[in-house]
Amino acid sequence: MSDTSLSIKMPRVLVVGDVMLDRYWFGDVSRISPEAPVPVVRVERREDRLGGAANVARNAVALGAHTGLLGVVGQDEAGDAIQQMLKNLEINGYLNRDTSISTIIKLRVIGRQQQLLRIDFENSPTETVLRDKLTRFNTLLPEYDVIVLSDYAKGSLVNVADMIAAGRRLGKCIMVDPKGDDFSRYKGASILTPNKSEMRQVVGAWKNEEDLTAKAQQLRQSLELEALLLTRSEEGMTLFTPETTLHIPTVAREVYDVSGAGDTVIAALATMLGAGKPLSEAVAIANRAGGIVVGKLGTATVTKEELFGI
């Protein structure tokens, strides 16, 4: 369809944040362990996928964006695996290798299409590597139109305020997928995309839609945001701007796995804005992308064919 084509302008998206390796072990479960009341999984297949900020980059490139990824990984096998996957997907990988840490890994054990266990391996990057990362960010900034800061609270975005300030000085669109109970460090970003639980941590519970709108608009104003996009799972999304509040119902046909859905939403939004789409249209497309990806197992992507039927 011509109206959804990304040929208007090649989106140039730089993703910055916590880079992870999502590792899946698939197997059959046929008995309970005699040692403890837990299932025994006989592993039959293993699969590695890009996780965290790397999953955002993976989603952006799947939708046709010229994509770069800036992050920190260890000097280890998992870091090498991420580097190779980025190369295979033609994502520009700007990975700072920190010899003193291990690459973040989320290992999921899947039995009969059900996640039975997740094991996390993670360390925070060193200050020296983070300073190098900030320098590299400032060098890369002029090459990209839209900057996505993907915060998983793993320590890679301690300089987020400096990154936002640098981006705004150059007139870039700065989008943030936030974490934690203090959003003040994201002040001055263009768009913030919290989910319901993240929003509640910051503004508290809301009694009704009117109360939510008041709290969201107050937060948007205090953080000097151009827009705040609240992702609401089965309730869809609500966009808060100075001019309006726009609610878009969910389009999910079947919710199978919500892991990585926020990555898909912000990647689609960034790609569409980078392609020149108006904000309201970009949000509608991102909502559709989120509805598709929750029907897939694990961290997944949405293709242009699935999204636009082309």
Domain-located, residue 116 = no
Q: 208-217 burial string, b = 16+ CB within 10 Å, else e?
A: eeeebeebbe
CA neighbor of 142 nearest in space, from 159, 165, 166, 161: 166
Which domain, by its residues, includes 155?
8-20+50-103+123-301
For residue 233, the domain's CATH number is 3.40.1190.20
**Calpha distance 53→19 (Å, rounded):** 5
Residue 208 domain flag:
yes
- Expressed in percent and rounded to 5, the helix, strand and coil fractions of the chain are 35, 30, 35
By annotation, the residues acting in catalysis are: 263
57 located within any domain:
yes
Rounded distance between C-alpha atoms, residue 125 and residue 152, angstroms: 13
Q: Where are the alpha helices (DSSP H) in 148-237?
A: 160-169, 196-203, 209-222
What pLDDT score does 293 carry?
73
Distance set, CA 102 to CA 80, 109, 125 (Å)? 11, 20, 9
Spell out the per-residue pLDDT of the chain, length 310, in tens: 344 444 456 899 999 999 999 999 999 998 999 999 999 999 999 999 999 999 999 999 999 999 999 999 999 999 999 999 999 999 999 999 999 999 999 999 999 888 899 999 998 898 899 999 999 999 999 999 999 999 999 989 999 999 999 999 999 999 999 998 899 999 999 999 999 999 999 999 999 999 999 999 999 999 999 999 999 877 888 999 999 999 988 775 555 445 567 898 999 999 999 999 999 999 999 988 887 877 666 667 787 777 776 5
Residue 227 half-sphere exposure toward CB, CA atoms < 13 A: 24
- Whether 3 is in a domain gets the answer no
pLDDT of residue 232: 85
CB-facing half-sphere around the CA of 13: CA atoms within 13 A: 35
Domain assignment present for residue 135? The answer is yes
Q: Are 304 and 63 in contact (CB under 8 A)?
A: yes
Q: What angle do CA 109, 291, 304 make, to 5 degrees?
A: 100
CA distance 3 to 103: 41
In a domain, 147, yes or no: yes
Domain-located, residue 112? no
Provide the pLDDT for residue 308: 76
Please report whether residue 177 resides in a domain: yes
Give the β-pairing of 173-177 and 146-150: parallel
Q: Which residue has the tokens 């293709």?
A: 303
Range 269-298 burial, b when 16+ CB lie within 10 A, else e: bbbbbbbebebeebbbbbbbbbbbbbebeb
Number of domains in the chain: 1
**Strand residue runs (E) in 102-256:** 104-111, 114-121, 146-150, 173-177, 191-192, 227-231, 237-240, 245-248
Residue 283 to residue 297: CA distance in whole angstroms:
23
